[in-house]
Structure 1
Amino acid sequence: MSSTPEESGAPGIRPFHVEVPEEALADLRRRIAATRWPSRELVADRSQGVQLATLQALARYWTSEYDWRTAEARLNALPQFMTEIDGVDIHFIHVKSRHENALPLIMTHGWPGSVIELLETVGPLTDPTAHGGRAEDAFDLVLPSLPGYGFSSEPAELGWEAGRTALAWAELMNRLGYTRYVAQGGDLGAIVTDVMARQAPEGLVGIHTNFLVTVLADPPPEESEQERAAAAALAEFQATGFAYFLEMTNRPQTIGYSLLDSPVALAAWMLDHDTDSYYKISRAFVDGEPVGNLTRENIVDNITLYWLTGTGASAARWYWEFGRFVAAAQASGQAPPEVSVPVGFTTFPGEIWRTSRSWAERSYPNLTYFNEVDRGGHFAAWEEPELFATEIRAAFKALR
């Protein structure tokens, strides 16, 4: 990976180009081939973890069919940049629309995602006329990599939690010359987007999210049938699917040794996120039938990015920082600031829990857009990019 010193039109911003040495790819294939496999799980589902057949199918594809150079070319076909903010080099993709009066949008990925999970949304969001939309639906798109993720550098000091990241994003948009913009995020990106809205930086005029992060710290009511179903799904996730969250929140360094030493261990850790996305990913490898945009290539692109950048441990530390960010907020005894900008929310059916309008309104009294769609899951932008883009256009239509 390389960065060149030429200016890109704004102070402190330099172009970025991905170029992975061939020896790094050869080492990756050697390590996959040398994997010591465990015996097969003793159950027929994912209750003991990522299934052996799924991971072995992924490994075969990774070593025999997959070509990182295709992903590299996709990234390099987009305008990529680096800029140092508060001592950390932040990587970002910045695609300006060809349409006039495009609305600037900063969109944040999650874990175990990266900018890879957002790439298929670039076309629909920046060039809507080519994807069933109107010219007035266009966005100028900014896709940053979280600190310690992908091509962004690792923080060398403590304190890079959600609040500091949100401030960095506001600085990034200011540095790009945007005086009026909107923000979107799912998963960890939803946390950053929520905090941005509560910080209320000058220029931010609205947000959209597809993951209601506030329920993790503030249990919502269970009055309607829909609310009770969502609460049950959340409880099930916390009881049986929360292990990765607890490990990275408490011991990111411990899991980091495995994530940087074995590509197969990294892949297993990244696949074991939530039931819906896991079975969709498993289906792509075992049955050869991808769901939406969750193809074998796209899934392995994302894992390979983590491997080649060596960011398994630094990405996990983000959870450690987030845990302390939440603990400090709770210890203060003060309620977080209200969100005053308009908020849009979309519920995707495969999400870990299906947020109801009542829950969304409780967290965001200024909710101006809410919709429940018929397909897609936790990684909605990755899985259903066209539908996701349609929701983003609708959510921000009133702010143009």
Structure 2
Amino acid sequence: MTMYDSSHKKTHRLKALVLLASITSLGLFIDYLLEEPLLPNVNQSEILGFRSADRSIREYNINISDHIVNTVFSQVKHSAILSQPLDITYGPDTKMYKDVIKYWREKYDWRTREVYFNQYPQYTTIVQGLQIHFVHVKPETSNKTVPLLMLHGWPESFAYFYDIVPQLTSGNGDVSFELIIPSLPGHFMSDPMKDRTTVHVATLFKNLMKRLNIDRFYVFGQGVGSFIGTDMAILYPDKVMGLYNTMCLSLRKISLVKYASRNNC
């Protein structure tokens, strides 16, 4: 065997090893991208706030005092407006502020809105140390009733769903919905949570439904409510009968790669 043949064989052997290593690495990388995310470890009874362990459900009615309303409108009336518009790169321009303040000064009627907000029954209860505000509407119909938990997004509120409540509870069909519409933690009369995730909110709302003696239910998620609804369906599949989201997401690593490539990240 010549020196050339020996060197040639070594080169082929090295190429084969490199190819095998590349295929193995690619396989491991694909397996990494496709692996199922681990279920988060969440304590279902973790105390998230500082309220007493009061399990009662209390009726709630929005009734802001005249003093507070007048104070707010006085501040709006005497608010200063920058004379020069800012470049949109540095935030909203002053024209938008002028339009908003003009609307508040001349058109906005808080008492009318207050009546609008109070048109459906509202309640508060303490779950895991947090006060949670929610709307609860039961249909007056003999049709089959299905519980539906509706989760708003940010910067929305429980009232985001008000226009569709009559359609869902009217009984125009074989099924009517019993609606539970909570305010997310930190929104309206629901206490805020510190350093918590949507997983904690998912458990919080599962426990809210349990407080209402509702064992199985459907979930609708809007915006960040979609993330919470997804976590509920993953963590409590025996409770969530169905999920509808306006923002669908996947926690698989390959989904993040696709998102990054699509958005040039």
Distance 1:198 1:187 in 2: 18
Distance 1:160 1:70 in 2: 36
Is 1:125–2:168 an aligned residue pair? yes
User: Which secondary structure state, in structure 1, belongs to the residue aligned with residue 243 of structure 2?
Assistant: strand
Q: Which residue of 1 aligns with 2:119?
A: 77
Distance 2:122 2:177 in 1: 17
Give the superposition deviation at 1:71: 1.7
Which of 146, 155, 166 is residue 103 of structure 1 equivalent to?
Answer: 146
Q: Which amino acid aligns with 2:72?
A: L
Whether the aligned pair in 2 keeps the contact of 1:13 and 1:83 (CA below 8 Å) is yes
- Structure 1: give runs of 5+ residues left out of the alignment: 1-10, 239-400
Q: Which residue of 2 aligns with 1:187?
A: 223
Distance 1:220 1:12 in 2: 47
Deviations 1:202-257 (A, max 9, x none): 421111101124479742537xxxx98xx34xx6xx8xxxxxxxxxxxxxxxxxxx
CA 1:213–1:31: 2 relative to 1, 3 Å? farther
Identity value in percent: 25
Q: Which residue of 2 aligns with 1:196?
A: 232
Give the superposition deviation at 1:162: 1.0
User: Which secondary structure state, in structure 2, belongs to the residue aligned with residue 102 of structure 1?
Assistant: strand
Alignment of 1:195-214 (within 5 A): 195-200=231-236, 202-214=238-250
Distance 2:234 2:216 in 1: 16
Alignment of 1:132-151 (within 5 A): 134=173, 136-151=174-189
CA 1:173–1:25: 2 relative to 1, 3 Å? same
Alignment of 1:350-365 (within 5 A): none
Alignment of 1:1-400 (within 5 A): 12-38=56-82, 39-42=84-87, 46-99=88-141, 100-127=143-170, 129=172, 134=173, 136-155=174-193, 158-200=194-236, 202-214=238-250, 218-219=255-256, 221=258, 231-232=262-263
Provide the aligned C-alpha RMSD in A.
2.4
User: Which secondary structure state, in structure 2, belongs to the residue aligned with residue 66 of structure 1?
Assistant: coil
Give 1 or 2: higher helix fraction.
Answer: 1
Q: Which amino acid aligns with 1:219?
A: L
Give the superposition deviation at 1:33: 2.6
Whether the aligned pair in 2 keeps the contact of 1:170 and 1:201 (CA below 8 Å) is no
**Structure 2-normalised TM-score?**
0.71
Larger Rg: 2
Distance 1:21 1:148 in 2: 21
Distance 1:110 1:76 in 2: 20
Distance 2:231 2:132 in 1: 19
CA 1:173–1:28: 2 relative to 1, 3 Å? same
Distance 1:160 1:123 in 2: 34
Give the superposition deviation at 1:201: 5.3
Distance 2:249 2:68 in 1: 37
Deviations 1:271-328 (A, max 9, x none): xxxxxxxxxxxxxxxxxxxxxxxxxxxxxxxxxxxxxxxxxxxxxxxxxxxxxxxxxx
Q: Which amino acid aligns with 1:68?
A: W
Distance 1:123 1:63 in 2: 31
Give the superposition deviation at 1:41: 2.7
Moved over 3 A (4+): 213-218
Whether the aligned pair in 1 keeps the contact of 2:139 and 2:171 (CA below 8 Å) is no
Distance 2:140 2:111 in 1: 28
Whether the aligned pair in 1 keeps the contact of 2:123 and 2:133 (CA below 8 Å) is yes
Q: Which amino acid aligns with 1:40?
A: P
User: Which secondary structure state, in structure 2, belongs to the residue aligned with residue 90 of structure 1?
Assistant: strand
**Structure 1-normalised TM-score?**
0.48
Q: Which residue of 1 aligns with 2:19?
A: none
Q: Which amino acid aligns with 1:110?
A: G
User: Which secondary structure state, in structure 1, belongs to the residue aligned with residue 124 of structure 2?
Assistant: strand
Q: Which amino acid aligns with 1:17?
A: N
